[in-house]
Amino acid sequence: MSAGERDVVVVGGGLLGLLVAEQLAQRHRSVEVLVSPRPDPRSDSQRNHSWLQSGLLYPDNEHARKMYSDGLEMLESFGYPPPTKGGVFRFSSEQEVKVFFDHANKIKLRGKVKEISDDEARTRLGVFYQRGCFHFEVPDAPFPEAALMELARARARAFGAQFRECYVTFERDERAANGYVVVAGGQRMAPTTTISCAGAGTPGLLRALNLAHPLTVSQSVLLVIDDATQIRVPLLADRTSGLTVVSWNRFDSPPRGRLVIGAAERRSLPPEAEDLDRRILPSEEAFLRSLLPPGLNVEKRMQRFTSGQKTDVLVDGRPTIAPWVYAPKEFPGLVFGTPGKATLAYAVAQRILSHIEQPSKPGGANPGEGSGEPPPGTLWHAPIRGHHEPEYDSPHKRRGR
C-alpha cells in the first residue's frame, strides 16, 4: 500500500495505541501503527505500576467511579480473570479514613473495602508495616499490563495491522486532503484517519499543528528493587505520605519479582523536555528515600531509580486525571487521545473509535492476513518486555530516535 492510500495510522504503541490498533484491525480497517524506536523509554505503559486502580485513591475525581469497572472490562475482553488478591491502603488519621469511606460509598466500592487488624497488617506488610495506622484491604491490585499489550499487538497483527518503528511529527499542509501530513521516518503521509496515542508526546504533536490544548506532562520518580520478598501484599498505598509499593511476585504468571516504589511528589516538565528527558534529580531521589522504611534491605546492585511520565488534563488550572479525546475540527479524521490512567485505556479506545466512521475499505486487510511473520520492510521486532527493564533506563539508548 502506498503512503497516500493508508486507511488508518495510529501513532504510539503504548497501551492505548495497541488497544485502538487491535480494535480497528478487527473491524477490517487497514492499520499502520507507528511506534517510537526501541527501546521505548517514553512508554508510560511499560514503566508505570500496572496497578488496576479502583479509583479509591482519588476522592475528588469524577472518573474515579469508572476506573475499576473499566479496568475489569479491559481484562475480561482479553480473557484475564479479575485479580483475587487485593492490596492495602494505609491511613494515619481518622479524618482520612472518613474521607476514604465517604468516597468508597460514592463510587459503590464500600462493600469491597475491609479493615484489617494490626497483627495482620504487620504480617502482610513486612518491613513496610507502620505502627498506629489504620489498614484496609481494597480491590486494587497489579494487573498483567505487559502481557495484555503483547496480546493486543499480536491480535492487531493477526488481523493485518502493520507496525513500523519511527519517530513521528505532524505538519500543516494545505495541499493535503485533511490539511496536515504525518511525517514518519522521512516519509510524508496523508492518511484518511490518524489517531494519536502518543502519551507524553501528545502536546508536541498538537503544538506542531498549532492546536491549543489543556495537557500537562509531569514526571514521577520510581525505585525498582529486584526483590519482591519484603512485602506480602501485592500493593500498599500509604495515603498520608503518598508512598506506593507494588509487588510483582516471581511465582505469578508471567513471572515477576520486583518491587516498584513510587512517591506522590511530581515534577512538571517544561514543554521542550516533555517527552524525552528522564534524568532523576538528586532531590527527587532523596525525597523517595525519605519515605522508605529503615528496615528495607536494598543493595545497590539490585535497585535503580527510574521515572515515568504522566499526561494530565488541566481542569480549572489544576492537573487532573481524566481521559481526553479530541478531534480538532480543522483537521478531519484526526483524533488525539490520552487515558489519564491505564485502567481507563480500554474505555478511551472505544470513545476514539466512536469518533471514526467504520467503512471497510476496498483493499483493506482481511482477518488473518499478516498472521505469520510481519511483511518484509516491517521493522517492528521489539518484544513488549516486562515492566521496568533496565535497558529502558540507559541514557545511551534513550537518545536514539
Ligand X SMILES: Cc1cc2nc3c(=O)[nH]c(=O)nc-3n(C[C@H](O)[C@H](O)[C@H](O)COP(=O)(O)OP(=O)(O)OC[C@H]3O[C@@H](n4cnc5c(N)ncnc54)[C@H](O)[C@@H]3O)c2cc1C
Q: Which of 7, 32, 44, 238 is close enough to bind ligand X by CB under 6 A?
A: 44
Q: Among 80, 167, 287, 380, which residue sits at the site for ligand X (rule: CB under 6 A)?
A: 167
Binding mask 121-160 for ligand X (x = CB under 6 A): ----------------------------------------
CA distances (Å), origin 160, targets 10, 79, 375, 387: 14, 21, 10, 27
Q: Kindly tell me which of 308 and 319 has the beta carbon lying closer to ligand X.
A: 308
Q: Residue 310 class from Cβ within 10 Å (0-12 exposed, 13-18 middle, 19+ buried)?
A: buried
What are the residues whose beta carbons fall under 8 Å from the beta carbon of 40, sequence distance 6 or more?
Answer: 13, 46, 382, 392
Angstrom distance (rounded) from CA 290 to CA 20: 40
Instruction: Supply the minimum distance, in Å, between the C-beta of residue 84 and ligand X.
Output: 18
Measured distance CA(217)–CA(201) in Å, rounded? 9
Candidates 225-233, 303-311, 325-333, 390-398: pick the segment binding ligand X (CB under 6 A): 303-311
**Interface of this chain with ligand X, residues 252 to 291, rule: CB under 6 A:** 262, 275
Choose, by CB under 6 A, the member of 87, 319, 340, 386 that binds ligand X.
Answer: 340
Which residues make Cβ contacts (< 8 Å) with residue 87, sequence separation at least 6?
Answer: 137, 138, 140, 141, 233, 234, 235, 236, 237
**Residue 168 found at the interface with ligand X (CB under 6 A):** yes
Q: Which of 7, 8, 12, 331 binds ligand X (CB under 6 A)?
A: 12
Which of 42, 135, 164, 258 lies at the binding interface for ligand X (CB under 6 A)?
A: 42
Shorter beta-carbon distance to ligand X: residue 190 or 217: 217
* CA-wise closest residue to 240 among 207, 264, 269, 208: 264
Which residue in the set 107, 197, 223, 347 belongs to the binding site for ligand X (CB under 6 A)? 197
Q: Are 142 and 387 in contact (CB under 8 A)?
A: no
CA 189 to chain CA centroid, Å, is 27
Q: What residue ranges bind ligand X (CB under 6 A)?
A: 11-17, 34-36, 40, 42-45, 48-51, 53, 167-168, 197-201, 205, 220, 222, 262, 275, 308-310, 338-343, 345
